[in-house]
Amino acid sequence: MAAPGKLAFFRLPPLPTVGELIKLYNLRAEKHLSQNFLLDLRLTDKIVRQAGSLRDAHVCEVGPGPGGLTRSILNAGVSDVLVVEKDTRFIPGLKLLSEAAPGKLRIVHGDILNYRMDRGFPENVSKPWEEDPPNLHIIGNLPFSVSTHLIIKWLENIANRTGPFVYGRTRLTLTFQKEVAERLTASTSSKQRSRLSIMAQYLCTVRNCFSIPGRAFVPKPEVDVGVVHFTPLVQPQIQQPFKLVEKVVRNVFQFRRKHCHRGVEKLFPEACRVEMTQEMMQKADVDPILRPTELTIPQFRALAEAYAHFCTHEPSLLGYEFREELRLKNLARQRNKTTDTFTAK
Ligand code: SAM
């Protein structure tokens, strides 16, 4: 019975250990699904604590696998957990967990990249964007094979308030390869500053919580792992369409060791490249000889705004990709060469 004055908290009853379950169901890790399991429940508890209080929360867990992290989430006083797992072999073990936590665990056998999370939770979970975040969390020891793709997709969802963010500023607590975690949270002028740093930080408060050595996983991956927490900002630091921001940031970072104007140039067709770049740098008031890693988010904002201005006047500019122009030019050059050879004969 709960001590007087204290709320009774749900705890899972005694169960086979995660290691025993792996043996019981013969769950050999599949490399192509980036399966590296966490069997130490103190570690999974520590990951779950990074999400903050989960009392009565709704949680979506990505890739529960044998369910170690799922157990820690269930023990944190949540209202319910929805798990999305691609590998059928884990479903029986998850069903066992579901029986031990009646009404608390929903199992979806599917791919997180296609799963419609905007339909996964009741509407009353929602909180207006400008208010505190909803009591809804995404937590996952992500498969490395999808983690970067997934976070870019979710960042775009944040910008458009779609997917898991139809409920408001849903928080995320996720693992990444340590280097990716460092890029996501890198500040101006740091060596790890990259496209991911800008894309994540213009939309979210991002915190690199702690690192987990590779040896804590079974099987041991080649790399260490970082746990990162994201809270979407009420007001994004750049107020331009996600695709436009992504294009500007991607182009600027493609020559990360060169002066930033070199990347900016590639936003424009060759015929007007030099003049347009000069005009854009002046309009944004950004020093063209700064390196991409030295640019602050307000400077990226100024660049995105200047580029958006050009795109309003010349809408075809937004679809321009310098690699495509280069490809067509090379193709034409090759065709001319072939024609010359035939004429010479
Ligand atoms: N959460 C477990 C743990 O911490 O021990 C397993 C983590 S393991 C790194 C990644 C899990 O994600 C595996 O169970 C794998 O089958 C699953 N997975 C891989 N790709 C997935 C996808 N596209 N959608 C859903 N689950 C996926």
| 109, two tokens | 């056998």
Q: Using CA atoms, how far apart are residues 288 and 293, in angstroms rounded to an integer?
A: 13
Give the pLDDT score at 24: 82
Show the 3-state SS of 227-276: EEEEEECCCCCCCCCHHHHHHHHHHHHCCCCCCHHHHHHCCCCHHHHHHH
Q: Which two tokens stand for residue 84?
A: 């999305």
- Residue among 74, 82, 97, 84 nearest 25 (CA): 97
Alpha-carbon distances of 175 from 31, 121, 201, 224, rounded to whole Å: 17, 23, 17, 10
pLDDT of residue 131: 98
Rg (CA), the chain: 24
Protein residue with its CA nearest to atom 22 in ligand 1? 111
Does this model's pTM top 0.95? My answer is no
What pLDDT does residue 344 have?
A: 64
Using most ligand atoms within 8 A of CB, pick from 42, 81, 112, 227 the residue to mutate for ligand 1: 112
Pocket test of ligand 1: the residue of 25, 37, 148 to mutate, having most ligand atoms within 8 Å of its CB, is 37
Mean pLDDT, range 77-106, rounded to an integer: 96
pLDDT over threshold 50, residue 53: yes
- The answer, yes or no, to whether residue 343 has pLDDT greater than 70, is no
* Beta pairing partners, 108: 84
| pLDDT score for 180 | 97
- Angle at the Cα of 94 (from 91 to 99), degrees rounded to 5? 125
Quick one: pLDDT band at residue 5, thresholds 50, 70, 90?
very low
pLDDT of residue 2: 41
User: Whole-angstrom Cα distance, residue 180 to residue 129?
Assistant: 28
* pLDDT higher than threshold 80 for residue 52: yes
> Does residue 58 carry a pLDDT above 80?
yes
How long is the chain? 345
**Sign of the CA dihedral with 51 first, then 61, 98, and 80 last:** positive
CA dihedral (309, 311, 315, 317) in degrees, to 10, reads 160
Q: Please, are residues 208 and 27 in contact by the beta-carbon 8 Å criterion?
A: no
Interacting residues of 119 by C-beta distance below 8 A, sequence separation 6+: none
State whether the beta carbon of 175 lies less than 6 angstroms from ligand 1: no
pLDDT score of 341 more than 80: no
Q: Region 135-145: what's the mean pLDDT?
A: 94
Quick one: what percent of the chain has pLDDT higher than 70? 96
Write the secondary structure of 4-59 as one string of H (helix), E (strand) and C (coil): CCCCCCCCCCCCCCHHHHHHHCCCCCCHHHCCCEECCHHHHHHHHHCCCCCCCCEE
Confidence (pLDDT) at 280: 97
Q: How many Å lie between the centroid of ligand 1 and the Cα of residue 66?
A: 9
Nearest-CA residue for ligand 1 atom 11 is 63
User: Percentage of the chain with pLDDT > 90?
Assistant: 83
**What is the DSSP secondary structure assignment for residue 204, as one 8-state letter?**
E
Q: Which of 33, 46, 114 should be mutated for ligand 1, with most atoms under 8 A from CB?
A: 33
Question: With contact defined as beta carbons under 8 Å apart, do 228 and 184 qualify?
Answer: yes
Mean pLDDT of 289-312: 98
Residue 1: the pLDDT is: 39
Single-letter amino acid code for the residue at 130: E
Ligand 1 close to Cβ of residue 35 (< 6 A): yes
- Report how far residue 343's alpha carbon sits from residue 345's, in angstroms, rounded to the nearest whole number: 5
Q: Pick the more confident residue, 9 or 21.
A: 21
Per residue in 236-279, pLDDT (tens digit) is: 999 999 999 999 999 999 999 999 999 999 999 999 999 999 99
CB 301 within 8 A of CB 237: yes
For the Cβ of 38 lying below 6 angstroms from any atom of ligand 1, the answer is: yes
Residue pLDDT, tens place only, 146-186: 999 999 999 999 999 999 999 999 999 999 999 999 999 99
Mean pLDDT check: name the lowest of 84-88, 133-137, 333-337: 333-337
Chain mean pLDDT for the chain:
93
User: What number is the average pLDDT over the span 18-40?
Assistant: 85
Kindly tell me if the per-residue pLDDT of 13 is higher than 60: yes
For residue 223, what are the CA distances in angstroms to 42, 47, 150? 21, 18, 19
Query: Reduced to 3 DSSP states, what percent helix, strand and coil does the chain have, rounded to the nearest 5?
Result: 50, 15, 40
Residue 183 near residue 197 (C-beta atoms within 8 A): yes
* Residue identifier of the C-alpha nearest atom 19 of ligand 1: 33
